[in-house]
C-alpha cells in the first residue's frame, strides 16, 4: 500500500504534504479527496489520497499524534477560506 518509508510526524509536515496534493505538485491526476485512515492489517495510521472512485492513489504513514490532531486540517484543507 505505502511504498514510502517516510512517516509524517508533525502537523507542519502534514500541511506541506496536503499543499503538494492540492497544488498538483505530486503529478497525480483525478484526485477527489484526502482522508486519514487506519491500515486493517496492522493498525498503522496513514493519510490517503483518493480518486473519484475512492481508490487509493498515494499514501503516507502518519504518527498517532498527527492522526488525532490533523483531522481538521485534512477535512478542511490547508486554506479553508478558499473552499
Residue-wise pLDDT for 8-45, tens only, equals 999 999 999 999 998 888 888 889 999 999 999 999 99
pLDDT of residue 61 exceeding 90, the answer is yes
Averaged pLDDT for residues 50-78: 94
Residue 66, classified by CB atoms within 10 Å of its CB into exposed (0-12), middle (13-18) or buried (19+), is: buried
Residue 82 has pLDDT above 70, yes or no: no
Question: What is the average pLDDT score of the chain?
Answer: 89
The predicted structure's pLDDT at residue 4: 61
Percent of the chain with pLDDT over 70: 89
Cell of 46: 496513514
Phi (first) and psi of residue 21, to 5 degrees: -65, -50
DSSP string, 44-81: -EEEEEEETTS-EEEEEEE-HHHHHHSHHHHHH-S-GG
Copy the grid coordinates of residue 23.
497544488
Amino acid at each position: 500500500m505505502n511504498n514510502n518509508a517516510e512517516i509524517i510526524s508533525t502537523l507542519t509536515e502534514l500541511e506541506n504534504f496536503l499543499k503538494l496534493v492540492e497544488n498538483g505538485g505530486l503529478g497525480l491526476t483525478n484526485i477527489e479527496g484526502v482522508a486519514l485512515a487506519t491500515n486493517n492489517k496492522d493498525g498503522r495510521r496513514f493519510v490517503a489520497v483518493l480518486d473519484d472512485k475512492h481508490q487509493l492513489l498515494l499514501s503516507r504513514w502518519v504518527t498517532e499524534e498527527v492522526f488525532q490532531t490533523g483531522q481538521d486540517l485534512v477535512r478542511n484543507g490547508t486554506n479553508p477560506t478558499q473552499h
